């Protein structure tokens, strides 16, 4: 064999080895998932174990608010996030121009109304202070819940993004107080009642089926999703991630741990 031919073969093998090494590194690089504390984080610990069996390495990054996980995803600091329902994601895409896609459904947290002062909504006095989330989609969700309980009536066509300005009838002259969703459980001492998202209620030790004086219907448009950058939605790791989340192991964990306070949405 000529020396030049031998050198070319060796060089080619070196390049191939380098490519294999690079591919292995890419597979070992963790997929960074942003979650909020409580059930989202707890469920993803199970997802992480299931995904590992399929060769997917997941790193869970926890956030304490609704704004930063999407900002971090847009900035490339996350590969995906799992904390928001679809109407909120769609509103963020529209309002902030994010190029995100819904990769798959996860769970639904029924929103509930809670109070430390009354045992029934019938006990609400005129002028009572009712807390609702201060972001558009969750605020609208809370107002729709209050409407189904007969406490107020919204203007026709207000839809999922209703605001206090859309209240057409308010016979008890309730005072709607808009507060950051994560702070609502801590604000119950200062309110007569509050409509609280299920994940924040769960984190605060509130069970909607036991502690809630009203609860959202099980069939709700507010199913949570896994969001990814649109450019990534067809990548193999996304399919593996959804497969792991939709596994029997994760479903059983959700049903066993959270009972009716968290519902699988797939």
Are 178 and 190 part of one and the same domain? Answer: yes
- Domain count for the chain, please give it: 2
Q: 12 is written with which tokens? A: 């080619």
**Residue 143 · residue 166 · CB < 8 Å:** yes
Q: Are residues 78 and 37 in the same domain?
A: yes
Residue 82: domain span: 3-109+222-264
Q: Are residues 80 and 125 in the same domain?
A: no
Residues 136 and 156 in one domain: yes
Tell whether the model's pLDDT for residue 24 goes beyond 80: no
13 and 101: one domain? yes
25 in the same domain as 123:
no
Q: Percentage of residues in the chain with pLDDT exceeding 70?
A: 89
The verdict on 175 and 99 lying in the same domain is no
Same domain, 165 and 249: no
User: Are residues 226 and 105 part of one domain?
Assistant: yes
Output the pLDDT for position 261: 82
- Whether residues 143 and 103 share a domain: the answer is no
Kindly tell me if the per-residue pLDDT of 159 is higher than 90. Answer: no
Are 120 and 247 part of one and the same domain?
A: no
Instruction: Give the CATH number, domain containing residue 172.
Output: 3.40.190.10
pLDDT class of 234 with cuts at 50, 70, 90: very high
User: 């699988």: which residue's tokens?
Assistant: 264
pLDDT mean over 206-210: 86
Dump pLDDT digits (tens) for 60-79.
Answer: 999 999 999 999 999 999 99
């Amino acid at each position: 064999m000529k020396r030049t031919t031998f050198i070319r073969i060796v060089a080619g093998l070196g390049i191939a080895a380098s490519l294999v090494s690079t591919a292995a590194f890419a597979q070992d690089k963790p997929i960074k998932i942003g979650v909020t504390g409580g059930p989202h984080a707890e469920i993803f610990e199970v997802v992480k174990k299931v995904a590992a069996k399929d060769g997917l390495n997941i790193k869970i990054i926890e956030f304490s608010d609704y704004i930063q996980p999407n900002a971090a995803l847009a900035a490339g600091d996350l590969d995906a996030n799992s904390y928001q329902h679809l109407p909120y994601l769609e509103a963020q895409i529209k309002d902030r121009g994010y190029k995100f896609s819904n990769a798959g459904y996860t769970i639904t947290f029924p929103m509930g109304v809670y109070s430390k002062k009354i045992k029934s909504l019938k006990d609400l006095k005129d002028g009572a202070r009712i807390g609702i989330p201060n972001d558009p989609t969750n605020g609208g969700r809370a107002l729709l819940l209050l409407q189904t309980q007969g406490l107020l009536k919204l203007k026709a066509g207000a839809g999922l993004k209703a605001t206090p300005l859309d209240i057409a009838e308010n016979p008890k002259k309730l005072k709607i107080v808009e507060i950051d969703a994560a702070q609502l459980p801590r604000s119950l001492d200062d309110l007569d009642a509050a409509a609280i998202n299920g994940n924040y209620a769960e984190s605060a030790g509130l069970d909607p089926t036991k502690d809630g004086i009203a609860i959202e219907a099980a069939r709700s448009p507010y199913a949570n999703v896994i969001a990814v950058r649109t450019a990534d939605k067809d990548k193999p790791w996304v399919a593996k991630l959804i497969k792991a989340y939709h596994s029997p192991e994760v479903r059983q964990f959700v049903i066993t741990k959270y009972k009716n306070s968290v519902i699988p949405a797939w």
